[in-house]
Homo-oligomer: A and B are copies of this chain.
Amino acid sequence: MVQYYNRLDASFGALADATRRGVLVQLAQADASISDLANTFRMTLTGMKKHVSILEDVGLITTTKVGRVRTCRLGARAFDDEAKWLESYRQLWAARFDALDSVLEELKAKDQNSERQKR
């Protein structure tokens, strides 16, 4: 179906889940093992493993295994590209309404003109 032409799909997708957002926030406090995370979010190890893999795939976290425990930590990139997209969209959005504003200004000016002419 949708092949991920766009990496944004994957990373916004990663964000669209409360558990995964929670994991990111927890990892910002301290590194954690998969068991730790599974425990925090009341979920099986296997279930948490999947979330961790997703976050790792999009590069938001990294993991290393030493002995039998795999430790998860925040990845090198935050949401740079994603924030950039949001920001540029917000500018487009603002521009759109600025344009509307200037139309309204214009109309208002014309209106005042006609008011003046009436007098």
Contact = CB atoms under 8 A, between A and B. Distances in A.
Nearest to A4: B18
Contacts of A74: 93, 96-97
Copies of this protein in the assembly total 2
A92 interface: yes
B95 A90 contact: no
A97 B6 CA distance: 28
A80 B19 CA distance: 21
A40 to B, nearest CB: 16
Contacts of A78: 89-90, 93-94
A102 B10 CA distance: 33
Interface stretch (A20-28, A49-57, A62-70, A107-115): A20-28
